[in-house]
Amino acid sequence: MTTVFSEPEAVPVSYVRQYLFCPRVPWFKMVEAFEPPMPSWVEQGKRWHQKQPELQKKRQIKGLQTPYQHQPDAWVESRQYGLYGYADEVLHNSRQAVAVEYKHDKRPPSTAQKLQLIAYLLCLREQYPQHEIWGILYKGGGKKQYRVEIRPDDIERIKQVVQAIRANSQSHLLPESSAQAAQCDQCEYLRYCNDR
């Protein structure tokens, strides 16, 4: 099977959120092929993440008719937008499909987290063109559901971000960043950004 992954211009959906956090993060990954050692808080988040699909079986999704299938770590891709990746979970029945993302932090959903989920929804829409599509973001304790839907403005923003990521991937210069000290302090790449 030929997938969008094999297309050189295709961008992982996770890079959309990372770019919005700081354009340098996907640049380090694409150009330098560099992943820093994982700090303990990321390990903690990963363990929390791994428990979620099992918990998900006990949760009710508002508006999603039962029975439905659970697909953890679901591969999704969009030829139209040149995106691909693994959504944390996809739930689907014969006429509805929901992409689920889990985020360990307890803050309200950020724009970057919402746009990442919408990018997954754009992929899901190609896979299930006749289905009603929406996304659910679980934050912190995983008790509160935030419903996310595709809006035209968000599609335009995602297109811009994907273009910018592609352009940066062609450059060997560290991209400009407006990241503030609070962002850099929680960033795994801090030791590798010489100007911070």
Distance, first Cα to last Cα, the chain: 44
Site string for ligand SF4, 126-165 (x = CB under 6 A): ----------------------------------------
Residue 83 lies near ligand SF4 (rule: CB under 6 A): no
Residue 112 lies near ligand SF4 (rule: CB under 6 A): no
Of 16, 25, 98, 100, which lies in the binding site for ligand SF4, with binding defined by CB under 6 A? 25
Of 30, 61, 150, 184, which lies in the binding site for ligand SF4, with binding defined by CB under 6 A? 184
- Collapse the DSSP code of 184 into the 3-class scheme (helix H, G, I; strand E, B; otherwise coil) and give the result: helix
The distance of closest approach from Cβ of residue 105 to ligand SF4 in the complex, given in angstroms and rounded to an integer, is: 16
Rounded CA separation 115/104 (Å): 17
The distance of closest approach from Cβ of residue 158 to ligand SF4 in the complex, given in angstroms and rounded to an integer, is: 20
Contact 53, 59 (CB under 8 A): no
Distances (CA, A) of 97 to 37, 46, 77, 114: 35, 25, 14, 17
